[in-house]
C-alpha cells in the first residue's frame, strides 16, 4: 500500500474521497489532480501528482492516507449498455443534486463534466474523470502521459502489421521493465490499435489545452473526454441509486471489448535472449525487516529518478474482459549472458527492506533522487461475471426492500494475494461480497465469498467493532486467515470474535433474506 501525501488530516481521522476536481500545472510544470476529501460536513481539496490518479476511488474511506478497502459508499451492481458513447454531458452540480450528493458550492467540483446514459429505463451518471481513471490510467505511466501531447505515441516506438490478424509492437525504452507483461501489452494494444479509443485518450489532452486557451484557469481545468463507442457491453460498478437514477462512483469492470487483431508480437529493451556461460554465479543474501511502508513524495523540488526496475504495487484492479482471446508473444532482439558456474555470495546491494520509503509518481528524469514506483490496477479476464454471487446480490436486494428500516450497502472486495485460494481456477482474483447493514444504529457485516468452483464456505455475519478503521482491520484479518487457511474460516480466529456462521441451503433469495434478518 502507498500512503497519500500531502495529508492534512489527523492521523486517526477517517475521511472519504468525495469527488474529483480539476487538473492544473504547478510551478514545476508537473500536472496535479485536485481530489476533494470529505470530513464531517465539509470538503478539503488536496493537489496530488497526476501519477497518483490510479490510487483514487470515489466514495472510498481513507485513514492516514491509506485506503480502507472494505469501507466504501454505494453498492455493487451491473448493467448492460447498448452503446457507452450514446449519451450526453452535464455539469456535476446538476447530476449530483439529484442524489443529495453535495459538492459544497466549490468551483473546483461543481463544474466537473458528468456523462449520462440510459439503459432499461434507468439513467446513469458517471464523471468524466472516473471514466478516464477506469479506462485509460491503469498505470502511473499512462496517468503521466494523459496530458502530454501525443502521449501514447511516446510509449510506442514502432507498430506494423505482419498480416491482417497479427501486429508487431516495439515498446519505448522509457517503459519500466517491471510492468512489461502480456497483460500490459494486451491493454496497450487496445489503447493504441483501436482508432476511436486512441482518439478518446488523446481528447483528454486536447480538451484540457483548449479550455486553458479560452477560459479562466485560476481554479484549474476540468477533465473532459470524447466518450468512445463501446457497444453491447456490460459494466460492473459501485454506485448510489435513487429510484430510476444511478450515480456511479467507481467503474469496477467492463466486458465485451474488442481488439482488431488475434495475435500480438512485442519487444522491449528488457527482453533478451539468454546466452549461458560457465562463469561464477553471484548470489545475494538480503535480510528483510518486514513490510515496507511507501509514502508519496510531497517535496515539489524533488523528482523521481530513472529506473527500469521500478517497484510495482498491486492495487484493486479494474477488470477488462475482451470479446476474443489473443495470442501474445515476446520477441527478444538482444542477448544477455547468464552465468551457470559455481555460486559465490555477495553482500553488496541494497540489503533488506526499510521501514518507510519515500516514493515518487511523477515522470522520471535523469538526475532525479526519489525512488519511482508503478501501480498495477488492471486484471484482464474472460468475464466480469460468473462469480457465483448473483443469488447473494439478489438476496441483499430483497433484504433491503423487505426491511426498509435497514440501511444496506454492499461492495465487492478482492481477497489478499499470497496463496492458491487467492485466485479462481480461471486465473481471476477471487472476490468476496461485504454487505454493511445498519439496524437502528447497530452495524453488522455479511461476508459472502465467491466460490464458482463449488467450494463450501458458510456465509459469515459479524458485528461492527466500533469504527470504520477497526472494522476494516477486523475484516481484512478475517480474509487473510481465510486465504492462509486454504479457503476455510479460521476456527482459532473465530473463537476470539463474535460471529454467526450461516450455512447455504436450497432456498429462494426471499427466504434467505428472511433467515439472515434474524441475526442483524
Indicate the helix (H) or strand (E) that contains 252.
strand 245-257
H-helix or E-strand spanning residue 200 = helix 195-214
Examine residue 456 and say whether the peptide bond preceding it is cis (omega within 30 degrees of 0).
Answer: no
Task: Give how far Cα 252 sits from Cα of 75, 76, 80, 97, 321, Å.
Answer: 11, 9, 14, 24, 12
In terms of phi and psi (left: phi > 0; alpha: psi -120 to 50; beta: otherwise), the region of 15 is beta
| Distance of alpha carbon 53 from alpha carbon 34, whole angstroms | 10
What is the reported pLDDT for 244? Answer: 97
Give the three-state DSSP class for 507. coil
Of 494, 53, 25, 10, give the one whose Cα is nearest residue 315.
Answer: 53
What integer pLDDT is reported at residue 289 of this predicted model?
47
pLDDT in the model for residue 300: 75
User: Using CB atoms within 10 A of its CB, is residue 240 exposed (0-12), middle (13-18) or buried (19+)?
Assistant: buried
| CA 33 – CA 137 distance, rounded (Å) | 13
Q: Which three cell numbers stand for residue 357?
A: 520509503
Determine the Cα–Cα distance for residues 188 and 131; give it in Å rounded to an integer.
17
Give the integer Cα–Cα distance in Å for 94 and 71. Answer: 27
C-alpha cell at 153: 505515441
- Which of 77, 213, 176, 192 is CA-nearest to residue 136? 192
Cβ count near 404 (within 10 Å) = 8
Element (H, E) at 187: helix 182-193
Give the integer Cα–Cα distance in Å for 174 and 203: 23
What pLDDT is recorded for position 40?
86
In this structure, what are the phi and psi dihedrals at residue 391, rounded to the nearest 5 degrees? -65, -35
Contact 37, 46 (CB under 8 A): yes
Do the beta carbons of residue 446 and residue 437 sit within 8 Å?
yes
The candidate with the shortest Cα–Cα distance to 9, out of 68, 69, 66, is 66
Grid cell of 130 as nine digits? 472516473
CA dist 365 and 245 (Å) reads 46
Cα 314–Cα 316–Cα 318 angle in degrees, nearest 5 = 115
Question: Which pLDDT belongs to residue 384?
Answer: 93
- Identify any residues that bridge with 436 across adjacent strands, giving them in sequence order: 409, 445
Q: Which residues contact 453 (CB under 8 A, 6 or more apart)?
A: 424, 425
Tens of pLDDT along the chain (520 residues) come to: 899 999 999 999 999 999 999 999 998 889 999 999 999 889 999 999 999 999 999 999 999 999 999 999 999 999 999 999 999 999 999 999 999 999 999 999 999 999 999 999 999 999 999 999 999 999 999 999 999 999 999 999 999 999 999 999 999 999 999 999 999 999 999 999 999 999 999 999 999 999 999 999 999 999 999 999 999 999 999 999 999 999 999 999 999 999 999 999 999 999 976 566 666 665 554 444 456 889 999 887 788 998 888 999 999 999 999 999 999 999 987 655 555 655 555 555 455 544 689 999 998 888 889 999 999 999 999 999 889 999 999 999 999 999 999 999 999 999 999 999 999 999 999 999 999 999 999 999 999 999 999 899 999 999 999 999 999 999 999 999 999 999 999 999 999 999 999 999 999 999 999 999 999 9
Domain boundaries, the chain: 390-517
Q: What is the largest CA-CA distance in the chain?
A: 74
Quick check: 342 and 402 in contact, CB under 8 A?
A: no
List phi, psi (to 5°) of 117: -150, 165
d(CA 385, CA 372): 35
* Secondary structure (DSSP) of 311-345: EEEEEEEEEEEESS--EEEE---EEEEEE-S-EEE
Nearest Cα neighbor of 293 from 317, 316, 313 is 313
What gap in Å lies between CA 328 and CA 264, rounded to an integer?
Answer: 5
CA distance 24 to 21: 10
Amino acid at each position: 500500500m502507498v500512503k497519500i501525501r500531502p495529508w492534512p488530516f489527523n492521523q486517526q481521522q477517517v475521511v472519504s474521497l468525495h469527488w474529483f476536481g480539476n487538473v492544473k500545472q504547478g510551478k514545476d510544470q508537473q500536472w496535479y489532480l485536485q481530489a476533494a476529501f470529505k470530513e464531517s460536513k465539509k470538503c478539503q481539496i488536496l493537489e496530488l501528482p497526476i501519477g497518483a490518479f490510479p490510487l483514487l476511488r470515489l466514495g472510498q474511506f481513507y485513514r492516514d492516507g491509506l485506503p480502507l478497502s472494505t469501507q466504501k459508499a454505494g453498492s455493487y451492481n451491473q448493467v448492460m449498455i447498448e452503446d457507452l458513447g450514446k449519451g450526453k454531458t452535464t455539469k456535476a452540480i446538476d447530476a449530483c443534486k439529484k442524489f443529495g450528493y453535495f459538492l459544497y458550492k466549490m468551483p473546483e467540483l461543481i463544474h466537473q463534466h458528468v456523462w449520462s446514459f440510459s439503459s432499461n429505463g434507468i439513467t446513469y451518471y458517471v464523471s468524466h474523470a472516473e471514466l478516464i481513471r477506469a479506462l485509460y490510467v491503469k498505470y502511473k505511466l499512462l496517468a503521466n502521459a494523459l496530458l502530454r501531447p501525443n502521449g501514447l505515441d511516446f510509449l510506442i516506438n514502432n507498430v506494423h502489421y505482419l498480416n491482417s490478424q497479427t501486429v508487431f509492437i516495439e515498446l519505448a525504452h522509457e517503459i519500466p521493465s517491471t510492468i512489461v507483461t502480456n497483460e500490459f501489452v494486451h491493454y496497450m494494444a487496445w489503447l493504441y490499435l483501436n482508432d476511436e479509443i486512441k482518439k478518446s485518450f488523446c481528447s483528454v489532452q486536447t480538451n484540457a489545452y483548449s479550455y486553458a486557451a479560452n477560459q479562466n484557469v485560476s481554479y484549474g481545468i476540468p477533465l473532459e473526454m470524447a466518450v468512445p463507442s463501446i457497444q453491447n457491453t456490460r459494466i460492473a460498478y459501485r454506485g448510489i441509486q435513487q429510484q430510476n437514477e444511478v450515480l456511479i462512483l467507481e467503474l469496477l469492470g467492463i466486458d465485451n471489448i474488442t481488439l482488431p487483431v488475434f495475435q500480438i508480437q512485442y519487444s522491449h529493451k528488457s527482453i533478451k535472449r539468454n546466452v549461458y556461460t560457465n562463469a561464477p554465479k553471484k548470489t545475494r543474501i538480503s535480510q528483510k525487516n518486514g513490510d515496507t511502508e511507501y509514502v508519496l513524495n510531497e517535496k515539489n523540488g524533488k523528482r523521481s529518478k530513472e529506473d527500469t526496475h521500478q517497484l510495482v504495487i498491486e492495487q484493486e484492479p479494474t477488470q477488462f474482459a475482451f470479446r476474443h482471446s489473443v495470442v501474445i508473444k515476446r520477441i527478444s532482439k538482444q542477448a544477455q549472458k547468464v552465468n551457470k558456474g559455481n555460486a559465490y555470495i555477495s553482500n553488496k546491494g541494497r540489503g533488506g527492506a526499510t521501514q518507510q520509503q519515500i516514493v515518487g509518481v511523477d515522470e522520471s528524469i535523469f538526475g532525479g533522487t526519489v525512488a519511482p514506483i508503478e501501480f498495477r490496477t488492471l486484471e484482464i479476464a474472460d468475464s466480469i461475471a460468473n462469480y457465483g454471487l448473483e443469488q447473494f446480490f439478489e438476496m441483499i436486494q430483497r433484504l433491503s426492500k423487505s426491511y426498509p428500516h435497514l440501511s444496506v450497502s454492499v461492495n465487492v472486495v478482492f481477497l489478499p494475494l499470497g496463496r492458491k485460494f487467492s485466485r479462481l481456477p480461471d486465473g481471476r482474483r477471487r472476490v468476496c461480497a461485504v454487505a454493511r447493514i445498519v439496524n437502528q444504529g447497530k452495524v453488522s457485516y455479511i461476508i459472502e465469498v465467491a466460490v464458482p468452483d463449488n467450494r463450501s464456505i458458510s456465509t459469515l455475519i459479524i458485528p461492527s467493532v466500533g469504527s470504520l478503521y477497526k472494522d476494516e482491520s477486523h475484516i481484512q484479518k478475517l480474509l487473510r486467515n481465510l486465504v492462509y487457511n486454504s479457503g476455510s474460516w479460521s476456527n482459532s480466529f473465530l473463537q476470539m470474535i463474535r460471529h454467526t456462521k450461516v450455512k447455504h441451503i436450497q432456498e429462494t433469495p426471499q427466504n434467505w433474506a428472511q433467515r439472515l434478518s434474524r441475526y442483524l
